[in-house]
Amino acid sequence: MIVGSISENLSQEQRVSVTPDIIKKYKSLGFEIHLSKNYGLHLGFTDQLYENEGAKIFSSDDVISNSDAILQLNILSDENLKKLKKNQNLIGVLNPYINEKKLKEIALKDINCFSLELLPRITRAQSMDILSSQANLAGYKAVVDSFSYFQKAIPMMMTAAGTISAAKVLVVGAGVAGLQAIATAKRMGAIVFATDVRLASKEQVESLGGKFLVVEGAENLETKGGYAKEASDDFKNKQEGLIKETLKKIDIVICTALIPGKKAPLILKKDMIDELPIGSVIYDLAASQGGNSELTKVDEIVDYNGVKIMGEANILNKLPISASNLYSKNIFNFINNLYDKDNKVFKINLEDEIIKKTMVK
């Protein structure tokens, strides 16, 4: 059995699906690993390094042609999708909400497509949870980057010349990225506030030293899978009023609110941003899905009346080695679950919730 991966479009994606240190694990299951030429060179992973670990290097066409499973981060290009053959397995972050038509077309050719962002939130799937591993890094990096643009010190400092007050941070959305943002900001000495539609987040926020902003009369808007549900208009209005008042004393806002498969909820409207002091910074991790801030522009730093608003299409391109190390382990654990070791085949067992939920038909 052959597991293969080809280079991503490096102008959009710096991460890789197979790192050198994961190859031995694949080989222990009996797999051959085929990679395209210069696959990880941009990360310092030379072809020689991969070969030393046991991988084989081929052209991209040969990798696609010979692989039983093709591991990627993003969906293949249209040209490469046409090269897929019956009974092959395509595994990655395929974004079926955007690529629905493409995925249906290749599924009709008896090609199995698995999109890992659809993994169920169950204990057995935790080691495969790419959303958590990647969001964790994104939350950390958003804080570091926003602090680098903030022109004051972050922690409180007491000196003979006077006292510098600690920076005040508001984290919008207390999922994995938000919780890591809270933890990182607290470690750096900031005073942190947070808000989320899920009341269950309150205890998690407070355990990290943050102050949870409770919307009056709030319900717990959480799905059975642990994700946020879309809020009612009444809740949105109350949340808007609470955040607007809070923003008057906030220096840095980290936006992380997302609803899987939908446009990001608009939370920071223009009139709310007007409340922020000059010199404040907004980092919008939801930028690529429309943004939580009305003024966010992807891959631009917007200066609005002295407030900097930042949002990148892929913040993990700034931490590609760490992100690749985690992603490659997530995807190996998924393969390990999919592979029937006794019969040495990939077994599409739709009674397995992990396989059923991630398979795109």
- DSSP-assigned states of every residue in 116-150: GGG----GGGGGG-HHHHHHHHHHHHHHHHHHHH-
**Average pLDDT score over residue span 122-146:** 96
What is the predicted pLDDT for the residue at 139?
A: 97
Instruction: Let me know if 132 is a catalytic residue.
Output: yes
What is the predicted pLDDT for the residue at 178?
A: 97
What percent of the chain has a predicted confidence (pLDDT) above 70?
A: 95
What is the predicted pLDDT for the residue at 331?
A: 98
Please identify which of the residues 26, 36, 129, 327 carries the catalytic annotation: 129
**Average pLDDT score over residue span 41-45:** 98
pLDDT digits over 77-101, tens only? 999 999 999 999 999 999 888 898 9
**Average pLDDT score over residue span 178-200:** 95
Neighbours of 269 (CB within 10 A): 14
Q: How confident is the model at residue 197 (pLDDT cuts 50, 70, 90)?
A: confident
**Average pLDDT score over residue span 336-346:** 92
Report how far residue 255's alpha carbon sits from residue 229's, in angstroms, rounded to the nearest whole number.
17
Largest CA distance in the chain: 74
Beta strand residue intervals within the chain, DSSP E: 2-5, 32-36, 56-58, 69-71, 89-92, 112-115, 157-159, 162-164, 168-172, 191-195, 211-212, 252-255, 281-284, 300-304, 307-311, 339-340, 345-346, 359-360
Report how far residue 191's alpha carbon sits from residue 1's, in angstroms, rounded to the nearest whole number.
53
Please identify which of the residues 7, 17, 72, 132 carries the catalytic annotation: 132
What is the predicted pLDDT for the residue at 292?
A: 95
Paired strand residues for 310:
283, 301
Reply yes or no on whether the pLDDT at 220 is more than 90. Answer: no
186: three-class secondary structure by DSSP: helix
Q: How confident is the model at residue 226 (pLDDT cuts 50, 70, 90)?
A: low
pLDDT digits over 141-165, tens only? 999 999 999 999 999 999 999 999 9
What is the predicted pLDDT for the residue at 310?
A: 97
The token pair that represents 254 in the structure block: 């980290």
The token pair that represents 295 in the structure block: 């003024």
**Average pLDDT score over residue span 189-193:** 98
Q: What is the pTM of this model?
A: 0.90
What is the predicted pLDDT for the residue at 228?
A: 56
Report how far residue 23's alpha carbon sits from residue 45's, in angstroms, rounded to the nearest whole number.
13
Report how far residue 337's alpha carbon sits from residue 116's, in angstroms, rounded to the nearest whole number.
13
Report how far residue 297's alpha carbon sits from residue 287's, in angstroms, rounded to the nearest whole number.
7
Q: Measure the N-to-C terminal CA separation of the chain; round to a whole number of Å.
A: 24
What is the predicted pLDDT for the residue at 207?
A: 96
pLDDT digits over 266-305, tens only? 999 999 999 999 999 999 999 988 999 999 999 999 999 9
Report how far residue 182's alpha carbon sits from residue 171's, in angstroms, rounded to the nearest whole number.
7
What is the predicted pLDDT for the residue at 221?
A: 55
pLDDT digits over 313-334, tens only? 999 999 999 999 999 999 999 9
Position of tokens 């998690």? 204
Domains of the chain: 2-118+320-360 (3.40.50.720), 136-317 (3.40.50.720)
Reply yes or no on whether the pLDDT at 224 is more than 80. Answer: no
How are beta strands 339-340 and 252-255 bridged, if at all? unpaired
Q: Is 301 in contact with 309 (CB distance < 8 Å)?
A: yes
Please identify which of the residues 47, 121, 127, 352 carries the catalytic annotation: 121
**Average pLDDT score over residue span 62-85:** 96
What is the predicted pLDDT for the residue at 296?
A: 97
Report how far residue 307's alpha carbon sits from residue 70's, in angstroms, rounded to the nearest whole number.
44
Instruction: Let me know if 227 is a catalytic residue.
Output: yes
| Nearest residue to 289 via CA among 256, 253, 255, 262 | 262
Instruction: Let me know if 303 is a catalytic residue.
Output: no
**Average pLDDT score over residue span 178-188:** 98
What is the predicted pLDDT for the residue at 98?
A: 84
How are beta strands 211-212 and 191-195 bridged, if at all? parallel
Q: Is 330 in contact with 114 (CB distance < 8 Å)?
A: no
Q: Note the Cα 230 to chain centre separation in Å.
A: 19
What is the predicted pLDDT for the residue at 351?
A: 93
Mean pLDDT of the chain: 93
**Average pLDDT score over residue span 182-202:** 94
Report how far residue 37's alpha carbon sits from residue 290's, in angstroms, rounded to the nearest whole number.
35
What is the predicted pLDDT for the residue at 234?
A: 78
Neighbours of 85 (CB within 10 A): 12
